[in-house]
C-alpha cells in the first residue's frame, strides 16, 4: 500500500535495528485519515469472503480494525489483555508472548461476542513473530469460529512470523512488509497488490 | 443522543446496580456504525472550538475518539496505561483510580504528541467519578496544552464525576446521562441536545 509506505518512510524512526517507532501515526497518536485508507485496503483484499466479524487485540489494533469493520459492515471485537471484571460471562483465553514487552500475557474474549457461526478476519498493527495471531487463532478455535484471513498493517519481514503463518496455511495480507531496516534506511519487500 | 439511548436500552445489561455492561457494542465488541454516529454528534457539539487533537485513554475510548477525530480532521492520541518501552522520548504521566478495577494505575503520553499549542478535546466511553478525565487533564497541564472540552459517551449521572467536572469549569458533553438504573429499568436524564 503506497500511501502507508510513504508515511512509514516520512514519519517513523528505527531504534536498535529492530524496533520501528510509529507512535506518531499508528500506535500512540493515530492518523484517522490513514486508518480509513487502511480500512479500505483491507476491505478490498478480503471482500467476498463472507466475513462476519473483525477480531483484534487492544490497543493498537483497534483503529485499523474499526475502519475495516465500518467499511465491511461488521462488528469489531478486541481481545483484552488481562482478565477484567467488566467482561460478560464465560471467557475464551490464550497466552501470548509480547516481543516489545518481553513477557507473556493473557488475552481473553467473552463467549458472548464470538460464536461458531462467525467467519473472522484478524487485524493487527504489527506482525513480527506471529504470537499474537496464534493466540487469537487459539481463541477462535475455542469458540469454534472460522478464521478467514489475517490483515497486518506492518509486517517485519526479517522476522519469522509471516513465513510461519503462511506456511501454516493462514491467508496473511500485510499492507507493508519491511525487508530490512536501520536508522538510515527502511527497505520494503516488493509486493503485488 | 436518541440512537445511543435506544442501543443502551436494547443491548446493555445492568449488574450489581452500578455496573452497566456495554460489551456488545462499546467496550469489547464495537459497533462501527454507532461509533461513526457518535463521532458526528461529538463533532457537532464541539465544532468551531479550534480543536487540534483528540485525547483518550486506551482501550475503550479509542473507537469513539477515532471517528470524532476523523470527522473533525484532527489526530487522536490515546494515553497508555503503563510505561511501555515503545513510547518515544519523554513522557507526561499521571495517576488514575479505576472504578471498575478498584485500583490505581499510571497513564502516560509521549511529549512528542502533545504540545503547548494544542487545543484538546478529551473523549472517553464512561464518566463515573471523573478520575480518568482529571488524570488526562493533569497530563495536558504538564504539556502546557489547553483543554477545550470533554466528550463522554455514557455518563453515570448518579455518581459525582459529572457534577465535579462541571463545577470545576469543564465543558462536559455526555451523549447519554443515566439518572438511575437497575436490572429492570434504565432511566436517562432529560437533556437538551
A171 burial level (CB within 10 Å; 0-12, 13-18, 19+): middle
Please give the average per-residue pLDDT across A126-133, as a whole number. 95
- Candidates A51, A66, A103: best to mutate against B (most CBs of B within 10 A) is A66
* Residues B31 and A32 sit within 8 Å (Cβ to Cβ): no
- State the complex-level ipTM: 0.94
The CA distance from B73 to the nearest CA of chain A, in Å, is 8
Q: Are residues B113 and A19, on separate chains, in Cβ contact within 8 Å?
A: no
Instruction: Assess whether pLDDT exceeds 90 at residue A16.
Output: no
Q: Of A137, A134, A12, A65, give the one whose Cα is nearest residue B31.
A: A65
Residues of B in contact with A36 (CB under 8 A): 70
pLDDT at B82: 75
Q: Which of A24, A70, A100 sits opposite B113 (nearest CB)?
A: A24
Q: What is the pLDDT of residues B115-157, one digit of tens each?
A: 999 999 999 999 999 999 999 999 999 999 999 999 999 999 9
Find the distance separating the first CA and the last CA of chain B, reported in whole Å: 7
Beta strands in A63-145 (DSSP E): 76-79, 91-98, 103-110, 119-127
- Pairing verdict, β A76-79 and A53-57: parallel
Note the maximum CA span of chain A.
Answer: 50
C-alpha to C-alpha distances, A89 to A119, B21, B184, nearest whole angstrom: 22, 11, 19
Q: What is the pLDDT of residues B56-95, one digit of tens each?
A: 999 999 999 999 999 999 999 999 987 555 555 689 999 9
Amino acid at each position: 500500500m503506497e500511501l502507508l509506505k510513504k508515511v512509514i518512510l516520512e514519519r517513523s524512526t528505527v531504534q536498535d535495528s529492530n524496533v520501528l517507532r510509529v507512535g506518531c501515526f499508528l500506535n500512540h497518536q493515530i492518523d484517522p485519515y490513514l486508518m480509513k485508507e487502511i480500512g479500505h485496503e483491507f476491505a478490498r483484499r478480503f471482500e467476498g469472503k463472507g466475513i462476519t466479524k473483525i477480531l483484534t487485540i487492544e490497543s493498537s489494533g483497534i483503529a485499523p480494525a474499526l475502519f475495516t469493520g465500518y467499511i465491511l459492515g461488521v462488528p469489531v471485537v478486541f481481545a483484552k489483555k488481562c482478565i477484567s471484571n467488566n467482561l460478560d460471562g464465560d471467557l475464551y483465553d490464550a497466552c501470548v508472548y509480547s516481543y516489545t514487552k518481553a513477557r507473556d500475557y493473557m488475552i481473553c474474549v467473552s463467549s458472548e461476542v464470538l460464536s461458531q457461526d462467525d467467519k473472522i478476519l484478524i487485524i493487527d498493527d504489527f506482525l513480527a513473530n506471529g504470537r499474537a495471531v496464534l493466540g487469537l487463532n487459539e481463541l477462535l478455535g475455542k469458540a469454534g469460529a472460522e478464521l478467514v484471513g489475517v490483515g497486518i498493517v506492518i509486517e517485519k519481514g526479517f522476522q519469522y512470523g509471516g513465513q510461519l503463518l503462511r506456511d501454516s496455511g493462514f491467508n496473511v495480507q500485510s499492507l507493508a512488509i519491511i525487508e530490512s531496516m536501520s536508522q538510515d534506511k527502511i527497505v520494503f519487500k516488493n509486493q503485488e497488490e
